[in-house]
A and B are shown apart, each in its own frame.
Chain A
Amino acid sequence: MRLKFIEEKIAKGFMIIASLAVFAFVVNIIYTIFRRGIPALNWAMISQIPAGGYYNGGGGGILNAIVGSLYIVLCSTILGLLISIPVVFYLNVYLKKDSRLAYIARLAFDVLFGIPSIVYGAFAFTIMIYLGMHTSLGGGILVITLLIIPIFIRSMDEVAQQLPKDLLDSTYALGATKLETIKVVLRQIAPGIATATLLSVGRAIGDAAGVMFTAGFTDSIPTSLNQPAATLPLSVFFQLSSPNADVQDRAYSAALILIFIVLVISILGRLITNYFSKHKI
């Protein structure tokens, strides 16, 4: 009789330790990056592009990578939304619940969701060679868009599947066509869209393997879609591969900047999500 209570205590202890471990990892990662990243951090890093010999310890900063990453994230998020919202809408409003196409499509998006970004990158690069394209901002945007569409669709679809049937029925009862219910549906799943965007942006800005072959790397800020573009994760990676200790320190600062951007985006995203939830029934 006593045994089960002892077992309960022990089990609970382990669970608490496990949950604390999650915390510990977060704290440790952030602390490690901060401790090593702060010393080399300065204004020049985020306001200048790399000067000559930057990767051997020369002056300058990583503005090229920050801007490149933001370009890619912004464009692919917009493109991703434009493609995935219609798909989610189609799956949930136009198609019936037991539709075969919906089942296959959801499975396909699950598979796409799982495909590693390096495979996307390799695939896109092959196509780019085939089309005679060079590594470029456009290529990077393309790959990241491919990468985040399944994220968008999966997380929006999860919310859209909870769409109350009454809500659609009420809208149809007013004489709405399926297309016209989109205004209602969008408002209802707005928090879901915000969450999905948050997830996608986080994934898009942090992805290195996908843009490696497709966006290339450059020291200048791209002015057109045909020019190669630097990205923050790759910038961290390349600086870290340098044998020069000063440059390695800068890699830590760049990682810090990357974390900072991700955290800011996620906090902003949360605020926006709350705002969008106000009409939800």
Chain B
Amino acid sequence: MSSNSSYRILKNKIAGGLMFSITVFSVLLVVLIGLGLYLKSVPIFEHNSFWHLIKSSEWRPGNNQFGFLPFIAGTLWITLIAVILALPIALLSALFLTEFSKSYLKKWVFTALDILAGIPSVVYGVWGTLFIVPWISEKLAPHFVEYSTGYTVLAGGIVLGVMILPLLISLFVEIFSAVPREFRDASLSLGATKWQTSKHVILRKTFPGILAAVALALSRAFGETIAVLMVCGNLPLLPHSLFDSCYPLPALIANNYGEMLSVPLYESALMLAAFLLFIVVFIFNASSRAVIYRIERKFK
């Protein structure tokens, strides 16, 4: 064997080892982040039980009272509204794109989606404060409540809904396109209309995939920070209607992380907030991906 050849083989082995370590390290990063956040949030458990933290809505860091309920409620509300608003739009337009539209139309809509996906979240925030917030406070809220600033749960939900649209649509398009041609042909040749085919074949076949995509979008929505922070009002109170302000978890971290060092347990409380986000995102991502993998395998 010439020296050139053994040098090449050695290089191959070394590179393999190196790449293996990078890969393993990135896998460990997940564990590292989870562990780090957990360890940092442990101190707060010495004074409060986990359930107490979750259930209480008293937020007085000065008195060592950390009730997370308003923040959790705020996050859940906003996310829920965002998904309720975005889901039908995303489903319908994804169906339109895969089953109905001509290719030139597709090109246009995809370009719009690309732009939507590329817009930085701070710009969504600006748009929210310029358009959605005044619209709610001037046009919509007066029909329902006496007064609203517009910086509300609803504003957060709408902005977030628009933000997750491109993600949802592209996931749906991916899933719908994975359904083999034969299924459609079979249904169409029975005399079904395109819509009947979509309803009975495409949507039914891909139902687990749709759930998984929604879970993925949910986890993205949970963590969105800056845009939501700009339109939600950020009052640590339990919201009672769509027109109340709220204070989602990510906004809590973003607003207070800098100045928390003066209050001893504050940092730990914020780390707990980050840890909660991490856990939720972890569970949603892992389970939805597992479903998507299974679907892809089924059709392949």
- Decide if B19 touches A87 in the complex (CB within 8 Å): yes
**Residue-wise interface mask of A (89-102) relative to B, using a CB-CB cutoff of 8 A (1 in contact, 0 not):** 11100100000010
Residue A18 contacts which of B96, B117, B121, B130 (CB distance < 8 angstroms)? B96
With contact pairs A15-B100, A207-B120 given, residues A115 and B278 touching in the complex (Cβ less than 8 Å): yes
**Which parts of A231-281 form the interface with B (CB within 8 Å)?**
233-234, 236-237, 240, 251-252, 255, 258-259, 262-263, 266
- Decide if B270 touches A122 in the complex (CB within 8 Å): yes
- Decide if B169 touches A22 in the complex (CB within 8 Å): yes
- Closest A residue to B36 using CB positions: A123
- Decide if A33 touches B230 in the complex (CB within 8 Å): no
Q: Report how far A89 CA is from B23 CA in the complex, Å.
A: 10
**Which parts of A170-209 form the interface with B (CB within 8 Å)?**
177-180, 202, 205-209
Q: CB-CB < 8 A to B130: which residues of A?
A: 32-33, 36, 252
Task: Find the residue from A14, A15, A202, A234 having the highest chain B CB count within 10 A.
Answer: A15
Residue B121 contacts which of A91, A112, A127, A208 (CB distance < 8 angstroms)? A208
Task: Find the residue from B100, B226, B253 having the highest chain A CB count within 10 A.
Answer: B226
- Decide if A115 touches B223 in the complex (CB within 8 Å): yes
Check A5 for interface membership: any CB of B closer than 8 A.
yes
Check B114 for interface membership: any CB of A closer than 8 A.
yes
- Decide if B286 touches A111 in the complex (CB within 8 Å): yes
Check B257 for interface membership: any CB of A closer than 8 A.
yes
- Decide if A18 touches B89 in the complex (CB within 8 Å): yes
Least distance between B162 CB and chain A CB atoms (Å): 5
Q: Report how far A236 CA is from B271 CA in the complex, Å.
A: 26
**Which parts of B11-38 form the interface with A (CB within 8 Å)?**
11-12, 15-16, 18-20, 22-24, 26-27, 29-30, 33, 36-37
- Decide if B116 touches A22 in the complex (CB within 8 Å): yes
Q: Report how far A122 CA is from B252 CA in the complex, Å.
A: 12
The B contact surface, by secondary structure, is helix
Least distance between B167 CB and chain A CB atoms (Å): 11
- Closest A residue to B110 using CB positions: A22
With contact pairs A110-B286, A240-B126 given, residues A118 and B223 touching in the complex (Cβ less than 8 Å): yes
- Closest A residue to B28 using CB positions: A108
Check B123 for interface membership: any CB of A closer than 8 A.
yes
With contact pairs A116-B277, A213-B258 given, residues A15 and B96 touching in the complex (Cβ less than 8 Å): yes
Q: CB-CB < 8 A to A14: which residues of B?
A: 92
Partner-contacting stretch, out of A23-31, A45-53, A54-62: A23-31
Check A126 for interface membership: any CB of B closer than 8 A.
yes
Check A167 for interface membership: any CB of B closer than 8 A.
no
Residue A212 contacts which of B196, B254, B290 (CB distance < 8 angstroms)? B254
**Residue-wise interface mask of B (198-233) relative to A, using a CB-CB cutoff of 8 A (1 in contact, 0 not):** 110000000000000000100110111110001000
Check B285 for interface membership: any CB of A closer than 8 A.
yes
- Decide if B223 touches A117 in the complex (CB within 8 Å): yes
Interface size for A (C-beta < 8 A) is 82
Least distance between A19 CB and chain B CB atoms (Å): 4
Check B129 for interface membership: any CB of A closer than 8 A.
yes
Q: Report how far A25 CA is from B225 CA in the complex, Å.
A: 20
Check B72 for interface membership: any CB of A closer than 8 A.
no
Least distance between B98 CB and chain A CB atoms (Å): 11
Least distance between B143 CB and chain A CB atoms (Å): 22
- Decide if A119 touches B223 in the complex (CB within 8 Å): yes
Q: CB-CB < 8 A to B95: which residues of A?
A: 15
Q: Report how far A117 CA is from B250 CA in the complex, Å.
A: 9
Q: Report how far A94 CA is from B17 CA in the complex, Å.
A: 10
Q: Report how far A37 CA is from B126 CA in the complex, Å.
A: 11
- Decide if A111 touches B282 in the complex (CB within 8 Å): yes
**Which parts of B139-188 form the interface with A (CB within 8 Å)?**
162, 165, 169
- Decide if A110 touches B285 in the complex (CB within 8 Å): yes
Q: CB-CB < 8 A to A33: which residues of B?
A: 123, 126-127, 130
Q: Report how far A139 CA is from B116 CA in the complex, Å.
A: 28
- Decide if A122 touches B195 in the complex (CB within 8 Å): no
With contact pairs A177-B9, A179-B15, A252-B130 given, residues A22 and B284 touching in the complex (Cβ less than 8 Å): no
Check A131 for interface membership: any CB of B closer than 8 A.
no
Q: CB-CB < 8 A to A25: which residues of B?
A: 116, 162, 165
Residue B92 contacts which of A18, A125, A212, A213 (CB distance < 8 angstroms)? A18
Q: Report how far A76 CA is from B163 CA in the complex, Å.
A: 24
7 A-B pairs with CB atoms under 8 Å apart are A21-B89, A29-B123, A108-B26, A118-B225, A119-B37, A179-B8, A266-B118
Query: Knowing that A25-B162, A179-B11 are A-B contacts, what are 9 other residue pairs whose CB atoms are under 8 Å apart, sorted by A's residue number?
Result: A17-B92, A19-B97, A108-B30, A123-B36, A206-B120, A209-B254, A212-B254, A237-B122, A251-B126
Name A's B-contacting residues (CB within 8 A).
4-5, 7-8, 11-12, 14-19, 21-23, 25-26, 28-30, 32-33, 36, 83, 86-87, 89-91, 94, 101, 104-123, 125-127, 146, 149, 153, 177-180, 202, 205-209, 212-213, 233-234, 236-237, 240, 251-252, 255, 258-259, 262-263, 266
